[in-house]
Chain A
Amino acid sequence: MDYRLFDRVRRNVTPIELDTIESYAQGRIARREFLRRGSMIGLSLPVMAAVIAACGSDNNGSSGGTAAPGGTAAPGGTTASGGTTAPGGTAAAGNIKQGGTLRIVAQKPAGPLDPVAMADLGTYMPVTTCFDYLVDALGGDVRPMLAEKWAPNADGSVWTFNLRQGVKWHDGTPFTSADVVATMDRLAGSNLKASIAAGATKALDDFTVEITLLHPDGQFPQQVGAYNPQSVITPKDFALGTTLDQRKTGTGAFKLTKYDAATGATFEANPDWWGGKPFLDKLEYTFSDDLATMVSGLQGGAADAITQYSVVGGDAILNDPNLVTEIIRGAAHRQIWMNCREGDFTDKRVRQAVAYGLDRQALLDTILKGKGDIANDHPIAPIFPFFDASQPQRKRDVDKAKQLLSDAGKAGLAATMYFPKLQEIPQLAQIVQSQLKDIGMNVTIQQEAVVDGEEWCKVYDSTKEPAGCDGGKDFGIVDYGLRGVPDVYLVKAYATGEWNSAHYISEPFRAAVKAYQSSLDLDGQKAAIKTIQQIANEDVPYAIPYFYNILFAHTKKVTGIVATGLGHFYCGKAGFTE
């Protein structure tokens, strides 16, 4: 340890930054986690490099912590790692030739290309191909995109972003702080309403904005990066409801040239992109809502890459030696929700019985072919640095489950479980039905017509908090994509009414979430998360059997695609190697 260098660095940082530096120096977080957290709070690369140099080999990254969200997992079969290169950074691999058209088969957009209202991967793809975020939070590290630097105040309640200069919209007009202010004000009424209010974002000058949060948040940059796709920065005159195909613009690497909601979209490279001229000349998206068709397209040579696919139905890709599957390990999961407010699941013993009835390893092996992590009925995945690994893992216990049902007076309970037709969820529903039969439950399963329309998310009782979105049902499965931090799961699914399908109310849980969010140091977060894990595991508003890996694939000659944990691609540095 070079104490002189270390002390010099320590003297010039804020308390939040100091906590991160100390955590690394004391070996409580690994080097990767240090970089992730440091970049999140705006520590400059020279400062982080100085800290790492000062700590020397005493801390080589092997201690503490775990892989960051979006990091890569050991691939199965003929897979390779991916998904961690910055969209505006350097290319993922050398020998990329200039030119070519990358053909991607992608999910069909479920709605208009409205950056604020979009809610599905099919829509994220074209929208985020044209628009950029303030920061790139793809691989766990937070890196510059439209913001070059950012920093919080002492308690993390005010964040200042220094914007990149010289960026132009596709129509040639300059990008300025007015665009960011307008975007944030739009989001204050929708996607970021839990974090900011309208008027909370101020332009200090043409290229500096200051965002005052409703409450301190040491991880706020995650809210304005790819894990929150609706936070793409749009022009100041982009009204609510304006769609990309109506107004073809953006600051991104590609310009939309043609869009047909039924068939696909084409984009041409933006030679003036702030990240440098893209390798590719064009991007072509072919839309499909059928995985078999998408798989055939990739295998049959009609596409060069496929967006997020599931093991179920996509195993032909995994077994194809000519294709490369990239895996992003993370916190994406399925929640088996049970209505805590009314119906047969109000007694927590019934919900616990369901949780004890699940054979998680069998689900993981059968449905995901092992490509995921076993979960413990809370949304904190092992990849998070504050994950409490000391909590005992809930295992299948049929006798205990039967006893719990009997104690609750619900032996032989009959229930209907609703689920969307999305990736492996129908198979999950079938196997859960079968497993719960062993504990004496008679589960009928019913597939919903749409993935995430009103059938799931209808606010059927908005006067009673939390209103939740369960379409008036008691029991079902819902999907949650990968996020860089678990705040969305904790706040929207558990602590507030917005996506609270289970109608779960727990003041201790809400207090723990608040404590977690206001903690600016790792120790504070760990303590709060430990409580969160315990309460969620005990109350089981949602049985969570596994965290699944995000898979996407491409041919061997393609390189440089950066995928987010939500599945959408960045192709600014993608290209062909031959």
Chain B
Amino acid sequence: MGRYVLRRVASAVVTLWVLATIVFVMVNVLPGNVGRRVLGPFALEDDVVRFNHQIGTDRALISQYLTSIKRVFTLDFGNSYQSGEPVKDIIVPALFRSAKLAVLAFVITIPISIAAGIFAARRQDKVADRAVVNTGLATSSIPDFVTAAVLMSVFCVHWKLGHVFADPPPGTSVIGQLPYLLTPAMALVIAYFGYIARMSRAGVIDGLQSDYARTATMKGLSKGQVMRKHILRNSLAPTITVISVQVGYLFGGIIGVEKVFNYHGLGSTIFNAVTSHDIPVLQGAVLLVGIVYMLSTLVADIIIAFLNPRVRLEASR
């Protein structure tokens, strides 16, 4: 198991390097002059030239590339072009904000949708099953930002039951932050419920029809024991994989929801960095999302290996 984890970590380092290279290429194909963009249209040309020299965007591409790779592995992304703040002071708070929203969304979504999937699988092709499947299909087919906008209009603006801005005031306690985050989290719950419920339903149906489930039943185990000890352990692997991928998306991809609720997570940080040509922030934030992706898939693999002895066995070879 230890070797398996080490192998995954080594592969993550390579992935990080590839990701850093892709980010570097992407930011260097963005059109325009960084100095002019940052200093504004009224800045003197001399100041623009001086700024570009100061931040190194007038250096040879290879030199800039080596610097950017060094930054990735030292986790020192320098200062934001836009605000002059250290990049870590921008992306780490954004990471925590994204984490808060993602955790709340998953804390609600995972138990509800897995339970709904199991419930539907055990009633395959019955009304309850169709209700879960169709509801899930309907909710997951609506873009999350549309759901967010509707929830915002109804619950926050019209009924005033939620907070329009999801960023709580500084100093708000953890419990006190929940009401602020609940409505955007619900938008994500609605978006992901169907997806995760259908995955778990499919896995459980496979498990219910498997030979090992039949053998376990013939051995005299109760339905509950068969479900807990055999079916769930096997059938949840695809669901866990899906969840791990969604974790990364929740950290960096929910720009629409963040925009609707004026929430400043990693998604909107990346968006703003792109539009303002803030390369250090863009690099730092994208790589942070990449690290989150890798960590979440690593954790998912470890959980799957823990749940499924066959995976552990393969990993140890």
Q: Do the two chains belong together in a single complex?
A: yes
Q: Which residue of B lies closest to A320 (CB)?
A: B157
Complex contacts, B94 vs chain A, CB 8 Å: 262
Which among B17-25, B39-47, B101-109, B136-144 touches the partner chain?
A: B39-47
Docked-complex contact B44 and A293, CB < 8 angstroms: no
Q: Mark B107-149, 1 if CB is under 8 A from A, else 0.
A: 0000000000000000000000000000000000000000001
Q: Is the CB of A453 within 8 A of B260?
A: no
Shortest B301–chain A CB gap in Å is: 34
Instruction: List the A side residues contacting B152 at CB < 8 Å.
Output: 296, 300
Given contacts A300-B164, A450-B37, A458-B36, A261 and B83 within 8 Å (CB-CB): yes
Contacting chain B: which of A34-42, A111-119, A269-277, A364-372? A111-119
A95 in contact (CB, < 8 A) = no
Q: How far is the CA of A190 from the CA of B38 in the complex (A)?
A: 17
Closest B residue to A287 by beta carbon equals B262
Quick one: given A112-B83, A246-B84, A449-B275, are A288 and B262 in contact (CB under 8 Å)?
Answer: yes
Whether the Cβ atoms of A300 and B83 lie closer than 8 Å is no
A392 interface residue per 8 A CB criterion: no
- A297: contacting residue among B165, B269, B275, CB under 8 A: B165
**How many Å lie between the Cα of A297 and that of B160 in the bound state?**
11
Q: How far is the CA of A462 from the CA of B170 in the complex (A)?
A: 47
**Measured CA separation A74–B236 after assembly (Å):** 65
What are the residues of chain B within 8 A of A119 when measuring CB–CB? Answer: 40-42
Question: How far, in angstroms, from A301 to B157 measured CA to CA in the complex?
Answer: 8
Q: Report how far A243 CA is from B38 CA in the complex, Å.
A: 14
Given the known inter-chain contacts A258-B170, A263-B167, please indicate yes or no for A293 contacting B40, CB distance below 8 A.
Answer: no
> Shortest distance in angstroms between A287's beta carbon and chain B's nearest beta carbon?
8
A112 to B82, CA, bound (A): 6
Q: Which residue of A lies closest to B169 (CB)?
A: A284
A300 and chain B: residue at smallest CB distance:
B164
Q: Does B33 contact A (CB under 8 A)?
A: yes
Query: Measured between alpha carbons, how far is A450 from B38 in the docked complex, in Å?
Result: 11
Chain B residues with CB under 8 A of A548: none
Q: How far is the CA of A469 from the CA of B43 in the complex (A)?
A: 12
Q: Is the CB of B41 within 8 A of A469?
A: yes
Interface residues of A in 140-193 (CB under 8 A from B): 189-191
Assess whether A493 is interfacial by the CB under 8 Å rule.
no
Residues of A within 8 A of B227 (CB): none
Closest chain-B Cβ to A557's Cβ sits at a distance in Å of 16
Which residues from chain B contact A300 at a C-beta distance below 8 Å?
152, 156-157, 160, 163-164
Asked if A422 is an interface residue, CB under 8 A from chain B, the answer is: no
Would you call A302 an interface residue if the criterion is a C-beta within 8 Å of the partner chain's C-beta atoms? yes
What is the distance, in angstroms, from A177's C-beta to the closest C-beta of chain B?
27
With an 8 A cutoff between CB atoms, is B153 at the interface? yes
Check if A455 is an interface residue, CB within 8 A of chain B. Answer: yes
B259 within 8 A of A: yes
**Does A538 make an interface contact (CB < 8 A)?**
no
**A299 neighbours in B (Cβ, 8 Å):** 157, 164
Q: How far is the CB of B103 from chain A (nearest CB, A)?
A: 20
Q: Is B217 an interface residue (CB 8 A)?
A: no
Binding site of B, secondary structure by majority: helix, strand, loop or mixed? loop
Question: Within the assembled complex, what's the spacing in Å between the Cα atoms of A450 and B41?
Answer: 11
A118 vs B157: C-alpha distance in the bound complex, in angstroms? 33
Which of A190, A284, A289 is within 8 Å of B44, CB to CB?
Answer: A190
**A residues 279-307 in Cβ contact with B at 8 Å:** 284, 286, 288-290, 292-293, 296-297, 299-303
Query: Which residues of A331-356 are within 8 A (CB) of B?
Result: none
Bound-state CA distance A108–B264 (Å) is: 12
Determine the chain B residues whose CB is within 8 A of the CB of A246 once the complex forms.
84
* A111–B40 touching, CB < 8 Å: yes
Q: Is the CB of B275 within 8 A of A190?
A: no
B32 touches A453 (CB 8 A): yes
- Inter-chain CA distance A284–B36, complex, in Å, is 30
Q: Which residues of A contact B85 (CB under 8 A)?
A: 261
CB distance B40 to A117 under 8 Å? yes
Is the C-beta of A48 less than 8 angstroms from some C-beta in chain B?
A: no
Q: Residue B243 at the A interface, CB < 8 A?
A: no
Decide yes or no whether B11 CB sits under 8 A from chain A: no
Which one of A245, A293, A454 contacts B36 once the chains associate, using CB atoms below 8 Å? A454
Q: Does A431 contact B (CB under 8 A)?
A: no
Residues 253-268 of B contacting A (Cβ, < 8 Å): 259-262, 264, 268
Chain A CB within 8 A of B276 CB: yes
Residues of A within 8 A of B41 (CB): 119, 452-454, 456-458, 469
Tell me which residues across on chain B come within 8 A of A455, comparing CB atoms. 32
Chain A contacts for B186, CB-based, 8 A: none
| Interface positions of B from 49 to 64, Cβ below 8 Å from A | none
When distances are taken between beta carbons in the complex, the residues of chain B under 8 Å from A445 are: none
Which residues 302-329 in A have Cβ within 8 Å of B in the complex? 302-303
Option from A262, A264, A453, A462 in Cβ contact (under 8 Å) with B40: A453
Expressed in whole angstroms, the Cα–Cα distance for A292 and B36 within the complex equals 29
Contacts of A456 in B (CB 8 A): 41
> Is A532 in contact with chain B by the CB < 8 A criterion?
no
13 contacts between A and B (CB under 8 A): A112-B84, A119-B40, A261-B82, A261-B83, A261-B85, A262-B272, A290-B259, A296-B152, A296-B153, A301-B164, A449-B275, A458-B33, A459-B45
- List the 9 shortest-distance A-B pairs measured between CB atoms, nearest first: A457-B41, A300-B164, A302-B164, A454-B36, A300-B157, A261-B83, A262-B264, A300-B156, A302-B165
Known: A111-B40, A293-B164, A293-B259. 8 other contacts (CB 8 A): A117-B40, A117-B42, A261-B83, A289-B272, A300-B164, A302-B164, A450-B37, A453-B32
